[in-house]
Amino acid sequence: MDNGRELIEALTQVSSEKGIDKEVIFEAIEASLVSACKKHFGQNANVRVVIDRETGEYIVLASKTVSEIVSDEMIEISLEDARKLSPTYEIDDVLEVKLKPGNFGRISAQTAKQVVVQKFREAEREILYNEYIDKQHTVITGIVQRRDRRNIILNIGRLEAYLPQQEQIPREVYHFNDRLRVYVLEVRQNTKGPIVNVSRSHPELLKYLFEQEVPEISDGTVEIKSAVREAGMRSKIAVHTNNPNVDPIGACVGPSGQRVNMISSELRGEKLDIIQWSEDPKKYITAALNPSKVIEVAVNDADKTAHVVVPDNQLSLAIGKEGQNARLAARLTGWRIDIKSESQAAGTDFLIFPDIEPVVEETAAITETQLEAAYENFYELPADAEPVVDNIVEESATEEAIAEEPVAEKPKEEPTAEEQPATEEHAEYYDDEYYDDEYYDDEYYDDEYYDEEYYDDEYYDGEYATDETTPAADTDNQ
């Protein structure tokens, strides 16, 4: 009894320290005792261990089958012994018998210990994974611990997070014990435990920082419509509000720029452009190209393309360093933006988008209608009737006129010996009934009827080359 109470107290302490449910610990100990019993009684033993959750005492139960002839006492029991336990047992019934485990050997105890340790580790990994999977796609705070090659290792509590090089802010220097706010990209399970990957360059980090610094965003008065970043250099964010009494840009900037300056300092001096979102694409694109001034914007809704004209002295500002400003504006608005100066666009159709799609569709429709009319009932006309087609295009009429022109006949060549009929009785085979132009026109006399499938030796062997269908003798044998 004392050992049972000590066991319960030890399990309670482990449960509080590790954060593991006490029931999980009991199941781990029961599994370890089962492994120890199989080492002691044999691997064939079908046993299970039950621990009393209050007293800590345990019993070992072995499952046995009632049999007339007992070949293995660990898995079988005689009918006579079974009926001593209960007179209702019959042959092939299964019952559980209590065993006395006695003292386990060193190997059995070591096996039980390994099972318990493994179960504890699995339970801890599962608890950690469940704890941090809820933090995926959120922002957390980490402390810089060390550098692993090009990755930065952060302490985020009970786990370590990895900040890969491609997710770091360029030219940002990380020192030991620096506190960083990072965006959790993913949390995945591994054999060694959960792995957490974080980012410092994700646009969602920028949105989170604005939500923390701007009360109007956190309470829903101001909404962030879109945000794009080129980490460490410049970011653009589009905001909108339905409250006419609230200035969304002023709310994000804050008194004397305090709010936006706090966010910029957190991102190591990254420049922030806050613009007003608009349903009108022209106004939205104009605002997205800030700080450049825009003279005129032309948009094509079909392919989401915009042509923008700016003053001559604002062209480089609109494009930005290495195209950065124009690139961010295009990503923010979702439009493809082409920018030209006022002098470059003067005298050109740069602001005019040709509407070619309807013309192409109309032309295709006319052509299809004409073809349907031309080939309607083509194969149902009698042989002596001339097909009548209305509204034939001029190209079709021209082609028919050319086709009706007489063609100069070529001088007839003398037939060779192989082409001449062998006898007079086969001359009728080559008369007008069989050998006429109708049968050998373009419809029948083409390569399809004379490829390897039809024109082979099978059709010209002795079975088919009879006197009734082909010339009687070969010219070579005459």
Domain C-terminal end among 129, 148, 170: 129
- Region 234-247: mean pLDDT is 94
Asked if the model's pLDDT at residue 381 lies above 50, the reply is no
- Region 420-435: mean pLDDT is 44
In terms of domains, do 124 and 141 share one?
Answer: no
In terms of domains, do 104 and 165 share one?
Answer: no
- Region 178-206: mean pLDDT is 92
Residues 47/60, Cβ–Cβ less than 8 Å? yes
- For residue 203, what pLDDT is reported? 94
- Residues 6+ positions from 341 with CB-CB distance below 8 Å: 309, 310, 311, 312, 314, 315
In terms of domains, do 125 and 13 share one?
Answer: yes
Is 72 a member of any domain?
yes
**What span, in angstroms and rounded, lies between the C-alpha atoms of 33 and 114?**
11
Least confident of 213-217, 337-341, 407-411: 407-411
Q: How many CB atoms lie within 10 A of CB 71?
A: 7
In terms of domains, do 419 and 464 share one?
Answer: yes
Q: 293 — phi, psi (to 5°)?
A: -85, 150
Is 222 a member of any domain?
no
- Range picked from 17-21, 358-362, 381-385 for highest mean pLDDT: 17-21
In terms of domains, do 115 and 16 share one?
Answer: yes
* Total domains in the fold of the chain: 4
In terms of domains, do 7 and 72 share one?
Answer: yes
In terms of domains, do 101 and 9 share one?
Answer: yes
In terms of domains, do 38 and 148 share one?
Answer: no
Asked if the model's pLDDT at residue 230 lies above 90, the reply is yes
Domain C-terminal end among 113, 129, 145: 129
Q: How many CB atoms lie within 10 A of CB 317?
A: 16
Residues 163/132, Cβ–Cβ less than 8 Å? no
- For residue 223, what pLDDT is reported? 95
Is 460 a member of any domain?
yes
Is 327 a member of any domain?
no
Asked if the model's pLDDT at residue 445 lies above 70, the reply is no
- For residue 95, what pLDDT is reported? 82
Intra-chain end-to-end CA distance of the chain, in Å: 123
Strand order in the sheet with 234-241: 222-230, 234-241, 271-276
Domain C-terminal end among 145, 179, 199: 199
Q: Look up residue 103 and give its two tokens.
A: 């003292």
Is 46 a member of any domain?
yes
Is 465 a member of any domain?
yes
- Region 458-464: mean pLDDT is 44
* Secondary structure E strands in 209-304: 222-230, 234-241, 271-276, 296-300
Residues 171/203, Cβ–Cβ less than 8 Å? no
- For residue 355, what pLDDT is reported? 60
In terms of domains, do 470 and 366 share one?
Answer: no
**Domain region containing 376:** 357-380+387-404
In terms of domains, do 41 and 113 share one?
Answer: yes
Cα–Cα distances (Å) from 417 to 468, 470, 474, in that order, read 21, 15, 10
Residues 52/26, Cβ–Cβ less than 8 Å? no
Least confident of 116-120, 148-152, 167-171, 366-370: 366-370
Per-residue pLDDT of 15-51, as tens digits, reads 777 777 778 878 887 887 787 777 777 777 788 888 8
- For residue 149, what pLDDT is reported? 84
* Secondary structure E strands in 8-129: 47-51, 58-67, 76-78, 94-99
Is 221 a member of any domain?
no
In terms of domains, do 90 and 112 share one?
Answer: yes
In terms of domains, do 364 and 459 share one?
Answer: no
pTM listed for this prediction: 0.59
Per-residue pLDDT of 68-102, as tens digits, reads 888 877 788 888 888 888 888 888 888 888 877 66
Mean of the per-residue pLDDT values of the chain: 76
Is 101 a member of any domain?
yes
Asked if the model's pLDDT at residue 151 lies above 80, the reply is yes
